[in-house]
Structures are given as structure tokens and as C-alpha cells.
């Protein structure tokens, strides 16, 4: 399952630095420079989810290969005020945002040398939110002018009225939209406050105000220094990295928290397939049934599905082998309509 999170924000605030820190891959590296629009085309990179359960299961069976679940992140070029009217290649960049499933909105909370030395995080947020909203408003107006649309005129008028009042579509709750990915203000969002390494322990006034503003709106918010996270990602020795974090007073892994938050807002969980040759975590959308989960592995398994054997993670770790699990009656047989639960260990049976 390939779901994407797009990193957005104004130009030159650290988006590519954050992307490179997340992906930690030379192939995925984006250009980092302190001038406007150093990123034009979006950069793509997969980020593995650290999963303690997966590693515990793999160690238990001495797996030859461990395959983690992953999420794709996209480094999208900076938006500017007027993007919805085409400013700064705005239409192109807005269309890149339409291709992602969720948004990581990076906000600058520090002053730097060179280009764009000042910072006003609340104004930054307002500029980006306004451009996304205007893009949605323009799209709804285009749909209203069409003779045929997947949404009826009354539904479109309701959306238009809501947007015209300056309200984002996600405020409407769970709305059933046909061209769902086309609507930018309906996408789930995480705010990342990019702070200076000097303010890791004591936040400046603007950052505190911005953090409180976003939390009051019930948005997920993560504070980090993209530059420091990038430097940490370049240190391959775990002990050396931990020592560097200790020196800087960093107590938790901000990037790991960001990936977990992205996983959560995308409404994802993991199930596992466990074996000596390979133990693997599989992303799935919460609420899917066993047959749909089988399709994530292979379409033939979905098509020729017979049943699925289900073991809980807790039972697997307790009894340590399938022989003991069978003896204790801890392997359940479920049909195609069984709803997959987070942490399930699955063994699909199908006609070959």
C-alpha cells in the first residue's frame, strides 16, 4: 500500500533538509540551498517505520530477512502568496499537493542569515492555508460551471459557501467527496515547527504562540530542528548519535515521532507475516477485512482466498512457536470478512 505525505511550506524554510533527514538515502536526496525555488520538481523517498514488534518477531524466529512497513514522503516546492493565481509556479506546485494523501506543513520558527531573515510563523501558516483554501474554492467553482459532476449542485453550493467563509473542508468532518484528493483543505495535516538549534531547550515567544494556536485547533504538532535532524541522520553509529543527542539535550527521536504521526493520520496499522526466510510488516487501512488484506500481499491470494490463520502478537511472544500455539489453541481460523486488528500475525490459506 503506497500512501504519500507531502512536505509543504514557504520557500527556503528547511523542507528539503527535513526530507533528506527523513529519507536518509543518497538516491532520494533533494537539493538544499538558501535561494527561492531551489526545489522545482517534487522529490520522492520512502521512510521505514521503526517497529519494535516486527524486530521482536523476527528475532524470535531468527528471520533471514526483515521487511519494515514504509510511508512515502514527497518534498514539494515552496508555495508563495498568490500561488492559487499562478504566482511562483503556484498552479504546478498546488497540483503536486493534490497527488498526496496527507500534508506535513513545515513552519519556520527561527531567523537565519541571507535570504528571508525574518520570520512570522502565524503569518506563514495563514499564507499557506489561504492558498490551499483558494485552490479548493477555484476547483469548486469550476465544478459548478460544468454540466455534469460527480457531486450534485446542492452539495457543491454547500462546499462553496463553507470555503467562501474562509473555512477548511476538514472542519466539515467526514464528508463524502468524489474527487477526494483534489480538495487540499480536506487532507489530514501535521504541523512541524522548524526551530533553531539554539532554541532546542528554550523556545522563543513566536514558537510558543504558534504551538499553542495549533494545539487549540486540535492539530498534531511536532517541534524539531530540521538541520540538527539532518546532521543526526548522517551519523550512522548509534552510540555516537545518542551521545550527540545527549549533548544537545534531545530526549526523544523527533523524526520517529513524525513518521508515527503520519502513520496515524493516514489511518494505517500493521499486520505481520512471520517466517524464517522473511518476517514482514504490512501497512493496511484500519477497517479492512481479511480478503482485502490478502490483496496487499498478492492478488492471487485475494482471488483464491479460503481462510486465514490469526495469532495475536502477545500470544506469539508468549508461546514462541506455532507448535505451542496450536497446543494451547491460540491459532484462530477466520473467514474473508474478518476485520484485521493491529498487530495480527496472519497466515493466508488459498487455492493455488
Q: Which ranges constitute the DSSP H helices of the chain?
A: 15-23, 52-61, 90-98, 121-145, 153-164, 205-216, 226-233, 238-248, 254-265, 290-297, 299-303, 313-319, 322-327
| Shared-domain flag, residues 190 and 314 | no
| Shared-domain flag, residues 120 and 153 | yes
Between CA 14 and CA 17, with CA 15 as vertex, the angle to 5 degrees is 65
Residue listed under C-alpha cell 502477545: 314
| Contact status, residue 225 vs residue 259, Cβ threshold 8 Å | no
Q: Is residue 243 part of a domain?
A: yes
- What's the pLDDT tens digit per position in 23-70? 984 344 444 444 444 445 678 999 999 899 999 999 999 999 999 999
Say if pTM beats, i.e. exceeds, 0.75: yes
| Shared-domain flag, residues 158 and 233 | yes
- 69-73, 92-96, 210-214, 292-296: least confidently modelled range: 92-96
The residue that leads in pLDDT, 202 or 240, is 240
| Shared-domain flag, residues 242 and 155 | yes
Tell me, what's the pLDDT at 38? 45
Q: What is the mean pLDDT of residues 180-189?
A: 90
| Shared-domain flag, residues 248 and 336 | no
- Across the chain, mean pLDDT equals 88
Q: How many CB atoms lie within 10 A of CB 85?
A: 12
Q: Is residue 22 part of a domain?
A: yes
Tell me, what's the pLDDT at 43? 87
Q: Is the pLDDT of residue 164 over 50?
A: yes
Q: Give the chain's domain count.
A: 2
Q: Is residue 62 part of a domain?
A: no
Q: Is residue 101 part of a domain?
A: yes
Q: Is residue 273 part of a domain?
A: no
CA end-to-end span of the chain, whole Å? Answer: 23
| Shared-domain flag, residues 159 and 302 | no
Taking the alpha carbons of 152, 157, 159, 160 in that order, is the dihedral positive or negative? positive
Q: Which of 36, 113, 41 is nearest to 76 (CA)?
A: 41
Tell me, what's the pLDDT at 107? 97
| Shared-domain flag, residues 122 and 233 | yes
| Contact status, residue 345 vs residue 313, Cβ threshold 8 Å | yes
Q: Is residue 220 part of a domain?
A: yes
| Shared-domain flag, residues 308 and 179 | no
User: Which residues, in sequence order, are CB contacts of 245 under 8 Å at separation 6+?
Assistant: 232, 251
Q: What is the mean pLDDT of residues 98-111?
A: 94
Q: Which helix (H) or strand (E) holds 204?
A: none
Domain interval for residue 336: 287-350
Question: Residue 302 maps to which CATH number?
Answer: 3.10.20.30
| Shared-domain flag, residues 127 and 17 | yes
| Shared-domain flag, residues 195 and 316 | no
Q: Is residue 277 part of a domain?
A: no
What's the longest Cα–Cα distance across the chain? 69
Of all residues in the chain, the percent with pLDDT exceeding 90 is 65
C-alpha cell at 2: 503506497
| Shared-domain flag, residues 311 and 234 | no
| Shared-domain flag, residues 25 and 158 | yes
**Last residue of a domain, which of 202, 231, 265?**
265
The SS3 call for residue 285 is: strand
Q: Is residue 204 part of a domain?
A: yes
Amino acid at each position: 500500500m503506497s500512501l504519500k505525505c507531502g512536505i509543504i511550506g514557504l520557500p527556503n524554510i528547511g523542507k528539503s533538509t527535513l526530507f533528506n533527514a527523513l529519507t536518509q538515502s543518497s538516491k532520494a536526496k533533494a537539493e538544499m540551498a538558501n535561494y527561492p525555488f531551489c526545489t522545482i520538481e517534487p522529490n520522492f523517498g520512502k521512510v521505514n517505520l521503526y517497529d519494535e514488534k516486527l524486530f521482536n518477531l523476527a528475532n524470535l524466529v531468527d528471520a533471514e530477512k526483515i521487511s519494515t512497513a514504509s510511508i512515502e514522503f514527497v518534498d514539494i516546492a515552496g508555495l508563495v502568496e498568490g500561488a492559487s493565481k499562478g504566482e511562483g509556479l503556484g498552479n504546478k506546485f498546488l497540483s503536486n499537493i493534490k497527488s498526496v494523501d496527507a500534508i506535513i506543513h513545515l513552519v519556520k520558527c527561527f531567523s537565519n542569515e541571507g535570504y528571508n531573515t525574518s520570520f512570522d510563523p502565524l503569518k506563514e501558516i495563514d499564507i499557506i492555508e489561504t492558498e490551499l483554501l483558494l485552490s479548493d474554492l477555484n476547483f469548486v467553482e469550476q465544478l459548478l460551471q460544468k454540466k455534469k459532476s460527480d457531486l450534485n449542485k446542492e452539495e457543491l453550493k454547500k462546499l462553496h459557501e463553507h470555503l467562501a467563509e474562509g473555512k477548511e473542508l476538514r472542519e466539515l468532518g467526514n464528508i463524502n467527496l468524489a474527487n477526494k484528493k483534489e480538495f487540499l483543505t480536506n487532507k489530514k495535516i501535521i504541523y512541524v515547527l522548524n526551530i533553531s538549534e539554539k532554541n532546542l531547550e528554550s523556545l522563543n515567544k513566536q514558537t510558543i504562540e504558534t504551538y499553542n494556536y495549533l494545539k487549540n485547533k486540535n492539530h498534531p504538532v511536532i517541534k524539531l530542528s530540521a538541520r540538527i535532524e539532518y546532521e543526526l541522520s548522517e551519523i550512522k553509529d548509534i552510540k555516537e548519535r545518542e551521545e550527540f543527542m545527549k549533548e544537545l539535550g534531545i530526549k526523544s527521536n523527533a523524526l520517529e515521532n513524525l513518521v508515527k504521526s503520519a502513520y496515524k493520520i493516514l489511518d494505517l496499522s500493521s499486520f505481520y507475516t512471520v517466517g524464517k526466510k522473511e518476517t514482514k510488516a504490512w501497512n493496511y487501512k484500519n477497517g479492512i477485512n481479511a480478503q482485502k488484506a490478502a490483496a496487499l500481499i498478492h492478488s492471487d491470494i485475494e482471488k483464491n482466498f479460503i481462510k486465514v490463520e490469526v495469532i495475536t502478537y502477545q500470544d506469539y511472544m508468549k508461546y514462541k512457536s506455532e507448535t505451542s500455539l496450536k497446543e494451547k489453541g491460540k491459532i484462530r481460523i477466520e473467514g474473508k470478512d474478518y476485520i484485521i486488528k493491529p498487530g495480527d500475525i496472519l497466515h493466508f490459506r488459498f487455492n493455488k
